[in-house]
Structure 1
Amino acid sequence: MRFRILFVLFSFGLTTSLFSQKINADYRLAIQKASSAIIIDGVLDEKAWEDAAVATDFFMITPMDTSFARVKTDVRMSYDEEHLYLIVVNHHAVEGPYMVESLRRDFNFGKNDNFLLFMDPFDDLTNGFSFGANAAGAQWDGQMFNGGSVDLSWDNKWVSKVKNYEDKWIFEAAIPFKSIRYKKGISEWGINFSRLDLKTTEKSGWAPVPRQFPSASLAYTGTLVWDNPPPDAGANISIIPYVLGGVSKDFQSEGSNQYRRDVGVDAKISLTSSLNLDLTVNPDFSQVEVDRQVTNLDRFELFFPERRQFFLENGDLFAGFGYTTIRPFFSRRIGLNAPIQFGARLSGKLNKHWRIGAMNMQTGEVEEQALPSQNFTVMALQRQIGARSNIGAIFVNKQSLNYNPDPSSEQPVYSQFNRNAGLEYNLASSNNLWTGKAMVLQSFGPDNVGNGFVHAANLRYSSGNLTWNWQHEYVSENYTAEVGFVPRNGFYRINPMIGYRWFPKSEKILSHGPDFNTSLFFNMDGEQTDNTSYAAYNVRFRSQSNLMAWLAYDFVKLQRPFDPTNFSGMTLDSGTEHRWKALGIEYASKPQSVFTYAFTTRLGGYYAGGDRYNFTADMGYRFQPYVSLALSTNFNQINLPEPWGETRFWLVGPRVDVTMTNTVFFTAFVQYNEQIKNINLNTRFQWRFKPASDLFIVYTDNYLPAPFNVKNRSIVLKFTYWWNV
């Protein structure tokens, strides 16, 4: 049974992808070498642009996907020995100012008039890069994976300019060949262009994309046809040193000031035009945006995304293996409690069909925690099958070095090693209607402690109206992934889902329809331990606002003691059973307003026959394009029998983003978390004085809410410089 689903999906993937061709093969844009110099100024006045072919007559994606777009967009591309050039004329369809949040990089797609380029330089319909800008000139760049996902944490060197006119806005960009990866000698790239115009609430694309898929879907790209293969980027070595100074103080322990004076360096070395080696020595991530806190009422560990730049390029090779709650590798486990001393990562394409990833990281010893020095190794290999499917393998090893713990000591004992090995098949049909995954994992530990097995699989179908998904998971009791994220083990799970959408001929409603989902957990004896089932009804308006109402049923048989408030310290007994029903409403306003808001409500039962009421609200106001104000609130009231009684939690997070230019940014973020009795203040100033080179000032405070006393405080000044050798 463990391998039957692998065989079924593998066979299905071969029949749906091997015998298929590129869907939008007839959409072809010729690109030729620039016939004149190109200046990036947002003005279409060079001879090179007069001679360039034009991509126009975009197709509407939303609100409907059956006609040409109302909003006219013209795209031209060219190149020279060092740069890929792009210029886009974004015509207005109706009068009025453009709509943007701010000049913040990697903006929210749905809240900005924008143009995006999606390119597949390997022509594998799976991996690529995205570049773009909003109508005020804020840049967007990301690395593409899984056929249509964009990792916006990836940043690189390129320049662009947006110029606004009365009847249009023009976006012009120069992307160095050294900033992207591509296979040498390929003369056809997959490419598509996406335009979002909020005044008309219209999203459009050059090559047509069905409305149920994102415009980023690489399955629906057209073709960029080069007059000659793109030039070899040549030697491509980037050195990115940093210097840092800072001071911190722990007021609770009445400690003295702790000073930081650090230097470190990253290096990017292109071994080929599509294979990259990253090196780091004494890395620092103090400028990384602080995690958004959440009220934790869950029985299991919460997941927070990776934001550190070193781990991000081609990160899907490592972090994309598995499912949301079954990840054999989770990079935040590295350097979580110990400093990273150095590391190396090799990643990219070997050829059109093979991708490789290999990473090794070394952390230092932490004497206060008796934490030994540790080495982390991850290796991944991926082979494309047919048009868009692939088979992947992963190996993860965590090894403690020079570690001989005393079993009689009161210090924590860490494992000598933990290893994981796995295989995965990812299905994606050529038209993206069918997607799926099947995986197996095996963990290994010293003396067979921590040896365990995982199997999981899903199959998903998404048409314009109907969506359904089947997923099942099995995680043995002894499965251990010390460098992964697997918050729960000793279970198998069944999770079917189905949804349907109608698209009425209405002036106000774009689509509406129901969703049904159930998630059933069983222990190793076949006894049901959890059941979360819900029915929802969704309405999407033509204004792009959304409304959803839902009903849910929950059953939990606790496998271990649990505090339902995650606050009091008092627990419910293992083996007790709990059932309740709940209902709720969610609404998000139209994104084109300068004032936006969203709210959710939940009302219903809870553990031990109690009740839980939850309300969240998110509000934003923008003084475009320079200032964006936001406020997030989350309130929980839990009523339980004694000894708990009534418990209330507030989580409030005001935030201000000031973008004085598209190179100078200031962010202030406050988080008041009543559950953990903490107020966090994080402010960050960033000056991008050259592409990918920055000056950061980061100030952080943590306070006790009552009395309002400082717990700890720190300030860091960091300077980074991107130097191309």
Structure 2
Amino acid sequence: MKKNLLTLISLLTSTIYAQDLYEVARTTAPIEIDGVVNEQAWKSVEPFPMTMYTPVYQGELTEKTEIRMCYDDEYIYFSGVFLDSDHKGIQGNSLLRDGDPGGDFFNVLLDTYNDNENFSTFSTMPSGNRLDAEILNDAEGDQSQIFNASWNTFWSVATTRNDAGWYAEMKIPFSSLRFDDNNGNVIFGLITHRLIGRKNERQTFPAIPPNWNMAAWKPSRAQKILLTGIKRKNPIYFTPYVLGNYQQNSAYDSTRKEIADHSDTDGEVGLDVKFALSSNLTLDLTLNTDFAQVEADNVQVNLTRFSLFFPEKRQFFQERSGVFSFTTSNISQNRLFHSRRIGLDENGNLLRVYGGGRLVGRFKNLDVGVLTMQTEGSDPSISSENFGIVRLRKRVLNAYSYLGTLITSRVDSEGNYNFVTGADALLRVAGPYYLTIKGGHVFSDHLPDSENSMGYIKWEKRAVSGLGYIAEAEYTGKNFDPGVGFVLRKNNLALNQNVVYGHFIDGQWVRKLEPFAANSIFLRNNDQSLETMTTEPGILILFASGADISFSVLRTYDEVKEDFALSEEAFVPAGNHTFSTLNAAFNMSNGRMIRTSVSGETGKFYDGDKASLSISPTWIPSKHFQISLNYTFNRIEFTERDQLLRADIASATMLAALDTKWSLRSLVQYSKLNNKVAVNTGLRYNHKEGNDLYLVYNQVSNTVGQDIEGIELPGTESWSLTLKYTYTFIR
């Protein structure tokens, strides 16, 4: 009876879009990756039938495209012939590894586990740069949760161009991919794109209607392809590094009543090892891990009484990070596991990571993720700690549903501990209807045994065309504090509803109208009194050019129990506050060499008035150079209390590349709130994948003269110079 019931449920919940299995051609002829598509192997392969995705779905293609695929015992090959009637309009905007994806583009997306959840993407532009990334969670959710640009692997690409168009050849080793095989037979999911930047024309295979969010990037929409006779090799990658660092700090010494300069020289060595235990299970080991080359965080201004969220940027934690994901709503941003808690203190300062390991892969329908890391303490208040994570996730009922569990641990050298257990389920009930359920519980010697749980449930209809909606509820206990997680708000019940209606227009200028309405309510656990409520109706307009514009009105009620500071001069008083703001945003198409994004907000802010304007122009004069600027003007005035807050922030990102090997990235940031300028500049020589030389310079300076007890502080607080070299041996 139980078996028959499960079979019936599986049939009811398996509304899978049927498609034929596409058998990819195997080749024995040699292919030289030089960007010249003239090999005999390509002449015997039929190109994929391409379909226009934008600006008009299934519209007539304005330029001819031929994308082919084949494979041999060692590699998967792709070629692209991208003819263009205006060869001067071809845009290759960057030479940088993982550089700006605007302009013309060739993109291959592979669902190697055939799990309808995750993509490994391989892309290039007419300039011949390499871009690889991961797409997680079937491209559903917040952008920061579904797109992992920090993921890299071993592969190669070459491009050429002439008066007729541009051309590309790509080679991906099977050893760089993780997959299930059945006696040498492998099934992947595949989507491939061509983007013509100046026209915002995207062509895809297979034909994918724009009926879902990011439809052309969804693994669940991929064409299933068959490769046969694959005998995978499992190489071992050894990547040692050597590092030298010089740093200087200037600070006020209150004992001596003077400025004390401190300088230090340091050297480090370390090792990363990657070993494929099987075709679908990878072990990563790291010793004395260092993240000196990781780019700096973007400066943020906190105008709330809650903590800011900073994303993970360190590559070691990026590969297959979707396996470890355990997040709840976009409103709360809560997550049981956030790898940024490892090796960083509460102020974002680096702690030494002695080492650790990570095991990631799949056994049939079971995703497995295991991670352990050991860090040092930095002062008497921070002890050496061990972090552990175990994540299991099994596909059930249909190809779009799973059950999972998560266990995290954080134990320090003093014996203090924080353990978390969690369970989750994502169930595709029928067609676009999905049910998500999650729960977690914290065990800690520093927390009471009560009110240390969380629960979450979401019902949604995923749709971009027509009506789509989300209804979700999340309970977070007063003592719910996952030691390796992130919790924005505790001790409340959050209710969130979001309704959107997508209406496509076959017009010359406007492609889509998307009115929406969002509502969030936060109730206190102890008495169910209302703490915060927001309501935001609005509309998003998408243009055929790739630009978009949006308008919304945000109405907020917030009961503040205690005053909270915005700066040393301004604060928000306790009390019941109701206020409204008008929001607008405009974004130009990424296909433009000169483009900008503008957003603004005006209205009330608690018991004051707020005006905010952000402008972010980008200029790409050539593939060798790009500069992006951002200036955000924030002015908040509390007239009755004679308080004025200026919380402006500014940044400039400069990217330069001599070729695809030599590149320079510089980020300069300014915050008016603390009158500081931070500079992070990195020179990189990427001889080949896994072999890198980095020279990184960091500096923090004051922009206004300051003194303490009559002693003038130096203009430069600190600066450092780091040289790091990594080299990968493959055995």
TM-score between the two structures when normalised by the length of structure 2: 0.91
Q: Show the counterpart of 2:108.
A: 117
Q: 1:357 and 2:359 equivalent?
A: no
- 1:27 Cα shift? 6.4
- 1:94 Cα shift? 4.6
Structure 1 residues 632, 53: closer, same or farther in 2, change over 3 A? same
What pairs with 1:162-561 in structure 2 (closer than 5 Å)?
162-184=159-181, 185-211=184-210, 212-214=212-214, 215-226=216-227, 228-232=228-232, 234-253=233-252, 254-324=260-330, 325-337=333-345, 338-351=351-364, 353-366=365-378, 368-385=379-396, 386-403=398-415, 416-428=416-428, 433-446=432-445, 449=448, 451=450, 452-463=452-463, 464-524=465-525, 525-561=527-563
Q: Show the counterpart of 2:68.
A: 76
Question: 2:87 touches 2:165 (CA, 8 Å); kept in 1?
Answer: no
CA distance in structure 1 between the aligned counterparts of 2:8 and 2:54, rounded to whole angstroms: 30
CA distance in structure 1 between the aligned counterparts of 2:657 and 2:549, rounded to whole angstroms: 32
Residue 199 of structure 1: SS of its match in structure 2? Answer: helix
CA distance in structure 2 between the aligned counterparts of 1:696 and 1:542, rounded to whole angstroms: 41
Structure 1 residues 359, 619: closer, same or farther in 2, change over 3 A? same
Of 20, 30, 44, which residue of structure 2 is paired with 1:26?
A: 20
CA distance in structure 1 between the aligned counterparts of 2:481 and 2:448, rounded to whole angstroms: 9
Structural RMSD (CA): 2.1
Q: 1:718 and 2:712 equivalent?
A: no
Residue 388 of structure 2: SS of its match in structure 1? Answer: strand
CA distance in structure 1 between the aligned counterparts of 2:640 and 2:147, rounded to whole angstroms: 49
Of 155, 176, 190, which residue of structure 2 is paired with 1:158?
A: 155
- 1:507 Cα shift? 1.2
Question: 2:103 touches 2:198 (CA, 8 Å); kept in 1?
Answer: no
- 1:369 Cα shift? 3.6
Residue 220 of structure 2: SS of its match in structure 1? Answer: helix
Of 41, 44, 48, which residue of structure 2 is paired with 1:48?
A: 41
Q: Deviations over 1:204-249 (max 9, x none)?
A: 21111121442121111113222x23221x2321011100001001
Question: 1:472 touches 1:492 (CA, 8 Å); kept in 2?
Answer: yes
CA distance in structure 1 between the aligned counterparts of 2:82 and 2:437, rounded to whole angstroms: 43
2:24 maps to amino acid: A
Residue 147 of structure 1: SS of its match in structure 2? Answer: helix
CA distance in structure 1 between the aligned counterparts of 2:328 and 2:157, rounded to whole angstroms: 37
Question: 1:297 touches 1:566 (CA, 8 Å); kept in 2?
Answer: no
Structure 1 residues 469, 71: closer, same or farther in 2, change over 3 A? farther
Structure 1 residues 67, 550: closer, same or farther in 2, change over 3 A? same
Number of aligned positions between the proteins: 690
Question: 1:250 touches 1:713 (CA, 8 Å); kept in 2?
Answer: yes
Q: 1:601 and 2:600 equivalent?
A: yes
Q: 1:694 and 2:692 equivalent?
A: yes
Q: Deviations over 1:311-366 (max 9, x none)?
A: 11111122344445221111111111332111111111112x11101111111133
Question: 2:355 touches 2:374 (CA, 8 Å); kept in 1?
Answer: yes
**Bigger shift: 281-290 or 644-653?**
644-653
**Bigger shift: 252-261 or 265-274?**
252-261
Question: 1:31 touches 1:224 (CA, 8 Å); kept in 2?
Answer: no
Question: 1:27 touches 1:207 (CA, 8 Å); kept in 2?
Answer: no
**Bigger shift: 144-153 or 128-137?**
144-153
- 1:427 Cα shift? 3.1
Question: 1:93 touches 1:200 (CA, 8 Å); kept in 2?
Answer: no
CA distance in structure 2 between the aligned counterparts of 1:512 and 1:106, rounded to whole angstroms: 32
2:524 maps to amino acid: N
Question: 2:56 touches 2:506 (CA, 8 Å); kept in 1?
Answer: no
CA distance in structure 1 between the aligned counterparts of 2:411 and 2:377, rounded to whole angstroms: 13
2:361 maps to amino acid: G
CA distance in structure 2 between the aligned counterparts of 1:183 and 1:369, rounded to whole angstroms: 48
Question: 1:422 touches 1:440 (CA, 8 Å); kept in 2?
Answer: yes
CA distance in structure 2 between the aligned counterparts of 1:62 and 1:11, rounded to whole angstroms: 39
**Bigger shift: 183-192 or 658-667?**
183-192
TM-score between the two structures when normalised by the length of structure 1: 0.91
Question: 2:239 touches 2:690 (CA, 8 Å); kept in 1?
Answer: no
**Bigger shift: 612-621 or 291-300?**
291-300
Question: 1:388 touches 1:429 (CA, 8 Å); kept in 2?
Answer: no
- 1:696 Cα shift? 0.3
- 1:538 Cα shift? 1.6
- 1:14 Cα shift? 4.4
Q: Show the counterpart of 2:658.
A: 660
1:220 maps to amino acid: R
Residue 623 of structure 1: SS of its match in structure 2? Answer: strand
- 1:77 Cα shift? 1.9
Structure 1 gaps of 5+ residues are: 1-9, 404-415
What pairs with 1:626-637 in structure 2 (closer than 5 Å)?
626-637=624-635
Residue 248 of structure 2: SS of its match in structure 1? Answer: strand
